[in-house]
Amino acid sequence: MKLKTPNEIIIIDIICILLILLIVFVPSAVARIILGLPFLLFFPGYALVNALFVNKGGVDNIEQIMLSFGMSIAITALIGFGLNYTSWGIRLESIVFSITCFIFVMSGVALFRRAQLLRVNKFTTEFILRLPSLGGSTLSKSLSIILVIAIFGALGTLAYTLTEPKIGERFNEFYILGIDSKAEGYPTLYILNNGNVSQVIYEDGAVDAISGFGKVILGIVNQRQQTEVCYIEMTINGQSANIEFNGTITNKLGPIELQQGERWENEIGIIPDHIGNSQEVELFLYNSTETTVVDSLHFWINVKQAG
């Protein structure tokens, strides 16, 4: 039985446009996965295969599907490799734009060659529906069966991976930066006058005689695969110390609620209260479900008396 449908290459191009619209206007992970997987793993190779093999004999359906999967993986990898050496980098937008352009170009070549070589309508495709033939050699039939099993096995594995994703390692990123958001420029020397900080000298030579505390940037990134509520405490030479945050002095910073993948990064102030060299400043990260320290950071400061 013959069945006439809209050209499958045009359908692929329409799906690519729908995927772009979803990415821009509907930040839905499920919809992106449904359209994104064939976009990466099938469409580029299918467009290329159809651009290359336009003769009347062509390739049979199983060969075309297997070639499409294999070439799509290679094309996607090569495009990503090329983007890595450009200013765009490997980002969602650059990957989608580059692969879409490739698919559109190959689709245009395929449609043009079909119209020129086969003299067929560019906008429709004719399928012949029939039962599989039992003819051919034993080797040919065996290879066809193996290819079909491999395709369904790959699809089944992919479906299982999507429905039962493996949860990665659970951890929190906990880091400290200098006031220029670099891993340098920490406060190193404090001058106390009548028990109060009158001057702070930083690693890079900068001097602060106004704020009354040494500034650093503290950051947390939640990678615990769930919402986390965090707290931060600080000690100087093993003794509990106050933290300045947003104009408030506290001995316990928090609660800080973070969704999975969310980042918290803010400036805090460190205020020592006694004289001594090589005093160890330690920052401890806790969460609401654990009483033990999740992570810790430390650096050293010198504190001198004014005059």
3-state secondary structure 242-254: CEEECCEEECCEE
List beta partners, residue 258. 228
Which of 93-102, 118-127, 138-147, 175-184 shows the lowest mean pLDDT across its residues?
Answer: 118-127
* 165 has a pLDDT exceeding 60: no
User: SS3 for 15?
Assistant: helix
pLDDT score of 267? 95
Model pLDDT, residue 3: 44
Integer Cα distance of 272 and 101 in angstroms: 59
Mean pLDDT of 148-161: 65
- Give the lowest-confidence range in 105-119, 213-227, 235-249: 105-119
pLDDT at residue 286, as a whole number: 92
Task: Please give the mean pLDDT across all residues of the chain.
Answer: 81
Residue 244 pairs with which residues in a beta bridge?
249, 269
For residue 304, is pLDDT > 90? yes
For 49-65, write each residue's pLDDT tens digit. 888 877 655 556 667 77
Q: What is the arithmetic mean of pLDDT over 217-228?
A: 89
Q: What is the pLDDT of residue 187?
A: 94
Q: Where are the domains of the chain?
A: 2-130, 132-166, 171-305
Residue with tokens 């089944």: 156
Over residues 18-42, the mean pLDDT reads 78
Average pLDDT over every residue of 261-276: 92
What's the whole-number mean pLDDT along residues 184-199?
92
pLDDT bracket for residue 266 (50, 70, 90)? very high
Rounded CA separation 283/298 (Å): 6
For residue 151, the model assigns a pLDDT of 65
Burial of 281 (0-12, 13-18, 19+ CB in 10 A): buried
Residue-level pLDDT at 146: 73
What integer pLDDT is reported at residue 129 of this predicted model?
Answer: 45
pLDDT tens-digit map of 65-84: 778 888 888 888 888 888 88
pLDDT at 127: 47
Task: Read off φ and ψ for residue 277, nearest 5 degrees.
Answer: -95, 155
What is the separation of C-alpha 254 from the centre of its chain, rounded to a whole number of angstroms?
28
SS3 per residue for 88-131: CCCCHHHHHHHHHHHHHHHHHHHHHHHHHHHCCCCCEEEEECCC
* 17-21, 218-222, 272-276: least confident range: 17-21
What mean pLDDT is predicted for residues 288-294? 78
Residue 175 pLDDT more than 90? Answer: yes
Pick the most confident of 12-16, 139-143, 222-226, 230-234: 230-234
pLDDT digits (tens, 9 = 90+) for 93-125: 888 889 999 999 998 888 888 777 766 555 555
Instruction: Give the rounded distance of the alpha carbon of 78 from its chain centre.
Output: 19
**pLDDT band of 271, cuts 50, 70, 90:** very high
Q: CA torsion angle for 250, 255, 260, 265 (degrees, to 10)?
A: -20
Asked whether the predicted pLDDT for residue 220 surpasses 50, the reply is: yes
What global pTM score does this model have? 0.51
Both tokens assigned to 286: 């806790």
Phi and psi based region of residue 64 (left: phi greater than 0; alpha: psi -120 to 50; beta: remaining): alpha
pLDDT of residue 265: 94
Average pLDDT over residues 10-29: 80
Task: Kindly report the CATH number that applies to the domain delimited by 171-305.
Answer: 2.60.40.10
